[in-house]
Structure 1
Amino acid sequence: MKFKSIRSRLVLLTTLILALSLTGSAWIANTAFSSTLRKTTYAELADNAEYLSTLITSSSPDPWLGGHFQAYAQSTSTRITLIDREGVVLFDSEYPIQTLDNHLWREEIQAALDTGVATSERKSATQGLPVLYYALRINDHPTVSVLRLSRALDQLVGYQRSYLNLFFGGLGVLILLSLVITAFSITMLTRPLELIKALSRRYAQGDLSAHTTVESPQELSDLSKTMQEMAFLLKTKLEEVESDKTQLETILENLSEGLLLLDTSLVIQVANHEALALLTESEHPDLVGKRLDHIISSREVLIMCNACMEDGKPHSMTIAQYGHLFGETALVVGKRKTKTLKLLACAVVSSGKMEGVVLSINDMTELRRLENIRKEFVANVSHELKTPITSIAGFSEALLDSSQKEERQHFLYIINRQAIHMQHIVEDLLLLSSLEQQNASPVKTWTMASQILEETEEQCKYRFEEKGSILTIKLINPENLDLFVNGMLIVQALTNLVINALTYSEAGSEVVLSLKLDEKSALFTVQDSGIGIPKEDAQRIFERFYRVDAGRSRSQGGTGLGLSIVKHIVAVHGGVVSVASTMGKGSTFTIKLPRSTSELNDMKAKSDSLYQL
């Protein structure tokens, strides 16, 4: 039990005083009685020892054998023990001597042999009572060297029990009286304190609108009024602080840039959600309380923050990041997966004193990527259009100067071919643009698998005939299933893959287009035995205008957009496209499409529910 209230403490104090008083008196009485009892017992043992020593020295050689010693021990409640110089027990009034061990090294025996008389006190192993020993050296006897008398203090235990009963009885009565008197005397004081306590508890629980009335005593009445005024002011301030905090948290958490508030030791005090996402990889990160150098392992960033605190001016820098790596290390390890972060450090100054730094972090990766894509796109489009435009301009001038009909026909053929090439580039760009729109959703219908393969074969047939290569079609569709797709787009994607395989294969080689259908998915594969794709280029071949062999592709009239179009057509159908290639052995492109879309499943579920109704 914890005694924290005024009532309980007063009662406890009174009880402790009474208990200490009675305990002290009991200890004094018990000590005095024990001391007197021991002195009296030692005196009696000394008298008995003098008497018995006289009998030993003046009687027969073994006076204890006649039974007189045994009778004397019983009449005086004393244990008599006779011991020779070697410590062997010759007689004991209570125990057979055969069961007793050697007594030579007992404390009182050694002392008696040295000084003539000795006393000691030990607790009995059997009764648990204190036992007094008195040993006397016998000088004029041939066998007995020490006479030892002992007696247990039975009276001391009885006295202690009686006194303790009286003590605890008196203590109980006094405690009861003190409780009654104390409770009555402090009731008038603790009642208003209980009211103030209840009021404080409600304040602690957040109920700052609570009220109470304390009329007396005056001090407690004033305390109650002061507390209620304080609670009202505190409630008003808390509402203002909570409103400001909510607004600040909303702003911080919805910022598109990461924010860190650092103290002067560069320990993170505040971190918003975007900062956690940019700087950590764990599911439940916690940056608060950590040093900045434990999160951003870049010496340049630390130097920038320290410089900001020294001069109080904003400092900024751009740094590469890959996981927990920053700077040059991130660029080397992360390669194309490296992020680009822009950091801005601004000093926090309060009352002329430097308090820390606010570090803002912007992820510039996507902007840099889009900028690079824009630059590459403009450069690639310019390059792709420059060749046909130059050809058209040059041959049109030659056409104007030429007077021969055959030569004019040749020039017109070249101009027409380059114009068609430009038309293909523009058409592919428009198709890509429509596929890249966020809500791009082409019209889909149930289409026969054989129809898709036949149309693809028809689109590519003339190119294979020109090159003398073979296009093999394989269809694995035992259940004769259809596909829920946009047939024209799928044919376009397959045509691009097949023509691409033909372009990078030798004349007379075979290209295999296969389709395998089951209830859940459709798996298209285009396999060739061409030159293959280098491992470092495999991840980039689906980018616009990216060519592994630019010279060979342009000589075949490609636009550089074919595989990018394939990627986007597959994406709008909810599928994936991948490539596996071995240099010198060929490549295999794989398109995996769901046989039906989630839209169709939703429509079917709605239809079923309507029919069930």
Structure 2
Amino acid sequence: MKLPSNRLFFIFIALTGSVIAVLGIVLGQLFPFLMEKIFLTNHIPFTEEQIDELKIQFAFVLALLLLIAFLLIAYIGNRLIQELLNPIENVTQTARELIKGNYLARSYANGPATILELRKSINILARNLQEIEKMREIEEERLKTLIENMGSALIMIDREGTVSIANALFLEEFHLTFLEVEGRNFLSLGLPRELEKFIDQVFLTELPYRKQIEMEINNEKIYKQVYGAPVVGEHGRWLGIVIVVHDITELIRLEQIRKDFVANVSHELRTPITSIKGFSETLLDGAYRDEKMLLSFLEIIYQESNRLQVLIQDLLELSKIEQHGFKVQLEPTSLKDVLIRAVEVTSPKMDEKNMEFDVDIQRDIKVFGDKNRLIQIFTNLITNSITYSPPHTVITLRIKEDGDHGIVEVEDEGIGIEKSEIPRIFERFYRVDKARSRNSGGTGLGLAIVKHLVEAHRGKIEVESTVGKGTCMRVKIPLYREN
């Protein structure tokens, strides 16, 4: 017989054994007295040896009866405990699993009506908890999806200043990982000082706060519209704050470009128009009678009209490129042929300054591009290198490739570009050396056109420059692959 391991069973057996043992002792003590009474009353002639033998037999029978009684009681007790305690143990184990969070656990106990009612209640509780857990998981997934796809960077900070939530956009904008922010104080994340001050302000006031701040990340100025608000739970309990960061750098940049465009176009158009008008009035006032002065003024008017024409052409070209739906005619194109043609176009300007080309082409590379637009790109870059380089210097042209792009480098020995100016050189009308570019007839639109054309090819343009030593323009165009 398999005995249960329940403590109550052993207590029951111990008590039963004790009662039987006491009963045996009492009977053992009463047996001689009873035998003596029986023998004396009935005048039975038993010898002392026979009486001792009867005592032994009686003791054996008594012990056997007590043992049988003990085993019978143990068996009955075991059955009773199995019927009563095992179902309760089963329900208790199910409750423990529910406490651990295992809401799939169910009780299968059988027994009296009260135990069946308890089993039913536990199973209903388990099903309800399972439904609540499912709803919580669904709501949590919805909240996570909303936070990750809201289009703005978000961070939630608890009362102690520890980060509890940070979405992927926040981590990406500030070059962090989830492991770096999880459970850490926001002051230890290396956030821009302006953002830390904003968060401190929300903590101090415990009121909603909105501000436009300017930050510098990786030597680049960016603008953020930041909104902060306290998070209040049930019964008005203050839980922490939530910060939403919206990037408005592009809006600020576009607004600045719009302002610069209006100002620069007005200025660029005013200069040649003023010259043409001034010299025309001078000629009309009688200067045309002097043939030498007439030819000089007409030459100036012609140059200024050419400058005006180039400016208008560049504006029309830039407008065309920036139009929605502008596409280049992509086809397999040899970078070597493109570069040779660009060199032929710019050679006259090279000769004027006694400059030379140093061509480093180990092998031809085919890219997926528009040949005419690529020639336009490299002609413009080489022209800029000539313009901003002193005479008797060298312009180096290289063709190489990486895993996905064909690369052309145009490197000069010119004046170079300040590190702070590099992000702006592709803006319209921006000039590194305004006097030199105007004297050379530049409009300040060339690099803006180059950038748009490179992006239309799904390529990249990179700039490396050292002031006084020169500049390297690196253009990457996707490689042509036959498959």
TM superposition score normalised by structure 2: 0.68
Pair 346,577 (structure 1): closer, same or farther in 2 beyond 3 Å: closer
Displacement of 1:492 after TM fit? Answer: 1.9
Is 1:301 matched up with 2:198? yes
Give the counterpart letter for 1:386 in structure 2: R
Displacement of 1:362 after TM fit? Answer: 2.8
Q: Which residue of 1 aligns with 2:35?
A: none
Give the counterpart letter for 1:424 in structure 2: V
Pair 206,284 (structure 1): closer, same or farther in 2 beyond 3 Å: same
Give the counterpart letter for 2:268 in structure 1: E
Displacement of 1:559 after TM fit? Answer: 1.1
Q: Which residue of 2 aligns with 1:459?
A: 345
Pair 524,237 (structure 1): closer, same or farther in 2 beyond 3 Å: closer
User: 1:425 pairs with 311, 314, 336, which one?
Assistant: 311
Residues 381-403 of structure 1: CA deviation (Å, up to 9, x unaligned)? 33323322333444455565557
Is 1:500 matched up with 2:397? no
Q: For the residues of structure 2 that align with 1:372 and 1:178, how far apart are their CA atoms? A: 98
Displacement of 1:256 after TM fit? Answer: 2.1
Displacement of 1:510 after TM fit? Answer: 4.8
Q: For the residues of structure 2 that align with 1:353 and 1:537, how far apart are their CA atoms? A: 50
Pair 534,354 (structure 1): closer, same or farther in 2 beyond 3 Å: closer
Q: For the residues of structure 2 that align with 1:543 and 1:175, how far apart are their CA atoms? A: 103
Aligned-residue CA RMSD (Å)? 4.6
Are the equivalent residues in 2 in contact too, given 1:341–1:365 (CA < 8 A)?
Answer: no
Residues 100-132 of structure 1: CA deviation (Å, up to 9, x unaligned)? xxxxxxxxxxxxxxxxxxxxxxxxxxxxxxxxx
Q: For the residues of structure 2 that align with 1:240 and 1:401, how far apart are their CA atoms? A: 90
Q: Which residue of 2 aligns with 1:547?
A: 431
User: 2:354 pairs with 436, 449, 469, which one?
Assistant: 469
Are the equivalent residues in 2 in contact too, given 1:547–1:560 (CA < 8 A)?
Answer: yes
Q: For the residues of structure 1 that align with 2:435 and 2:337, how far apart are their CA atoms? A: 35
Are the equivalent residues in 2 in contact too, given 1:501–1:511 (CA < 8 A)?
Answer: no
Whose relative contact order is higher, 1 or 2, with alpha carbons under 8 Å and at least 6 apart?
A: 2
User: 2:153 pairs with 258, 261, 265, which one?
Assistant: 258
Q: What's the secondary structure of 2:444's corresponding residue?
A: coil
Q: Which residue of 1 aligns with 2:55?
A: none
Deviates more, 1:491-500 or 1:273-282: 273-282
User: 1:317 pairs with 201, 211, 216, which one?
Assistant: 211
Q: 1:6-21 maps to which residues of 2 (within 5 A)? A: 7-13=5-11
Q: Which residue of 2 aligns with 1:382?
A: 266
Pair 411,344 (structure 1): closer, same or farther in 2 beyond 3 Å: farther
Residues 243-274 of structure 1: CA deviation (Å, up to 9, x unaligned)? 44333332222222233444444444444333
Q: 1:20-169 maps to which residues of 2 (within 5 A)? A: none
Q: Which residue of 1 aligns with 2:42?
A: none
Residues 517-573 of structure 1: CA deviation (Å, up to 9, x unaligned)? 689876645455544545654565444433222111101110122234344444526
Q: Larger radius of gyration, structure 1 or 2?
A: 1
Q: Which residue of 1 aligns with 2:141?
A: 246
Q: Which residue of 1 aligns with 2:375?
A: 491
Q: What's the secondary structure of 2:303's corresponding residue?
A: helix
Q: For the residues of structure 2 that align with 1:395 and 1:290, how far apart are their CA atoms? A: 71
Q: For the residues of structure 2 that align with 1:560 and 1:578, how far apart are their CA atoms? A: 17
Q: What's the secondary structure of 1:404's corresponding residue?
A: helix
Q: Which residue of 2 aligns with 1:565?
A: 449
Displacement of 1:516 after TM fit? Answer: 4.7
Is 1:218 matched up with 2:113? yes
Is 1:205 matched up with 2:102? yes
Are the equivalent residues in 2 in contact too, given 1:515–1:522 (CA < 8 A)?
Answer: no
Pair 473,433 (structure 1): closer, same or farther in 2 beyond 3 Å: farther
Q: For the residues of structure 2 that align with 1:579 and 1:299, how far apart are their CA atoms? A: 33
Are the equivalent residues in 1 in contact too, given 2:417–2:471 (CA < 8 A)?
Answer: no
Q: Which residue of 2 aligns with 1:101?
A: none
Q: Which residue of 2 aligns with 1:344?
A: 228
Are the equivalent residues in 1 in contact too, given 2:366–2:406 (CA < 8 A)?
Answer: no
Are the equivalent residues in 2 in contact too, given 1:464–1:471 (CA < 8 A)?
Answer: yes
Are the equivalent residues in 1 in contact too, given 2:225–2:248 (CA < 8 A)?
Answer: yes
- In structure 2, runs of 5+ residues without a counterpart are 19-67
User: 1:587 pairs with 464, 470, 478, which one?
Assistant: 470
Pair 247,575 (structure 1): closer, same or farther in 2 beyond 3 Å: closer
Q: Which residue of 2 aligns with 1:227?
A: 122
TM superposition score normalised by structure 1: 0.56
Q: Which residue of 2 aligns with 1:273?
A: 168
Give the counterpart letter for 2:151 in structure 1: S
Q: For the residues of structure 2 that align with 1:18 and 1:279, how far apart are their CA atoms? A: 76
Pair 417,211 (structure 1): closer, same or farther in 2 beyond 3 Å: farther
Are the equivalent residues in 2 in contact too, given 1:434–1:440 (CA < 8 A)?
Answer: yes
Are the equivalent residues in 1 in contact too, given 2:336–2:365 (CA < 8 A)?
Answer: no
Pair 19,307 (structure 1): closer, same or farther in 2 beyond 3 Å: farther
Q: For the residues of structure 1 that align with 2:244 and 2:335, how far apart are their CA atoms? A: 55
Q: Percent identity?
A: 30
Displacement of 1:202 after TM fit? Answer: 8.2
Q: For the residues of structure 1 that align with 2:402 and 2:93, how far apart are their CA atoms? A: 71
Give the counterpart letter for 1:315 in structure 2: Y
Displacement of 1:576 after TM fit? Answer: 4.3
Pair 279,229 (structure 1): closer, same or farther in 2 beyond 3 Å: same
Q: Which residue of 2 aligns with 1:574?
A: 459
Q: Which residue of 2 aligns with 1:42?
A: none
Are the equivalent residues in 2 in contact too, given 1:293–1:302 (CA < 8 A)?
Answer: no
Q: For the residues of structure 2 that align with 1:283 and 1:303, how far apart are their CA atoms? A: 22
Q: For the residues of structure 2 that align with 1:519 and 1:365, how far apart are their CA atoms? A: 31
Q: For the residues of structure 1 that align with 2:331 and 2:155, how far apart are their CA atoms? A: 52
User: 2:80 pairs with 174, 185, 208, which one?
Assistant: 185
Pair 224,264 (structure 1): closer, same or farther in 2 beyond 3 Å: same
Pair 470,236 (structure 1): closer, same or farther in 2 beyond 3 Å: closer
Give the counterpart letter for 1:422 in structure 2: L
Q: For the residues of structure 2 that align with 1:249 and 1:378, how far apart are their CA atoms? A: 44
Are the equivalent residues in 2 in contact too, given 1:257–1:360 (CA < 8 A)?
Answer: yes
